[in-house]
Copies of this chain bind each other. A is one copy, B any other.
Amino acid sequence: MINVGIIGATGYSGAELTRLLYSHPDVTINFLCSNSYFGEEFSSVYPNFRKFIDEKCINIHEAFDRLSNIDVLFTALPSGKAIEFGKRAIDNGVKLIDIGSDFRLKDKSLYKEWYKLEHTYPDLLTKAVYGLPEINKDAIKTANLVANPGCYPTASSLALIPLVKNHMIDVSSIIIDAKSGVTGAGRKATTGNLFVECNESIKAYGVTTHRHTPEIEQTLSTVANEEITLTFTPHLVPMNRGILAVCYGNLNKHYKLEDLMKLYKDFYKDSYFVRIIDELPETRFVKDSNFCDISLRIDERTNRVIVVSAIDNLIKGAAGQAVQNMNIMFGLDETKALKITPIFA
Binding site for B on A (CB under 8 A): 12, 15, 19, 22-23, 46-52, 172-173, 175, 177, 179, 181-183, 187, 189-191, 193-205, 207-208, 229-231, 233, 235, 237-242, 244, 246, 248, 272, 275, 277, 279-289, 291, 293, 297-302, 304, 306, 308, 314, 340-345
Contacts A199-B199, A204-B246, A306-B208 hold; do A237 and B240 have CB atoms under 8 A apart? no
Contact of A196 among B175, B182, B202, B277 (CB under 8 A): B182
Residues of chain B within 8 A (CB-CB) of A297 are 207-208
A282 pairs with B201, CB closer than 8 A: yes
| Most B Cβ at <10 Å: residue of A191, A201, A280, A304 | A201
A48 pairs with B284, CB closer than 8 A: yes
Assembly CA distance A200 to B48 (angstroms): 14
A244 pairs with B204, CB closer than 8 A: yes
A12 pairs with B196, CB closer than 8 A: yes
B50 pairs with A277, CB closer than 8 A: yes
Residues of chain B within 8 A (CB-CB) of A246 are 177, 204, 233, 235
B208 pairs with A239, CB closer than 8 A: no
Contacts A48-B286, A179-B235, A201-B239 hold; do A191 and B194 have CB atoms under 8 A apart? no
B200 pairs with A182, CB closer than 8 A: no
A191 pairs with B191, CB closer than 8 A: no
Residues of chain B within 8 A (CB-CB) of A15 are 344
Residues of chain B within 8 A (CB-CB) of A345 are 12, 183, 196, 199-200, 240-241, 314
Pick 25 A–B contacts, CB within 8 A, sort by A. Answer: A12-B345, A47-B277, A48-B286, A48-B289, A49-B342, A50-B275, A51-B275, A51-B291, A189-B193, A195-B195, A195-B197, A195-B199, A195-B240, A196-B240, A197-B284, A200-B240, A202-B237, A202-B282, A204-B244, A207-B308, A230-B302, A231-B301, A237-B238, A240-B345, A314-B345
Q: How many copies does the complex hold?
A: 4
B205 pairs with A182, CB closer than 8 A: no
B201 pairs with A231, CB closer than 8 A: no
Residues of chain B within 8 A (CB-CB) of A199 are 182, 195, 199, 238-240, 345
B202 pairs with A300, CB closer than 8 A: no
Which 9 A-B residue pairings sit nearest by Cβ, starting from the closest?
A201-B284, A48-B342, A203-B282, A195-B198, A177-B177, A208-B299, A48-B285, A48-B344, A182-B195
B205 pairs with A280, CB closer than 8 A: yes
18 extra A-B contacts, CB within 8 A, seeds A181-B200, A231-B248, A314-B345: A52-B341, A173-B173, A177-B246, A182-B194, A183-B345, A187-B196, A189-B191, A193-B195, A196-B240, A196-B345, A200-B284, A203-B280, A207-B306, A207-B308, A208-B299, A231-B306, A237-B238, A248-B248
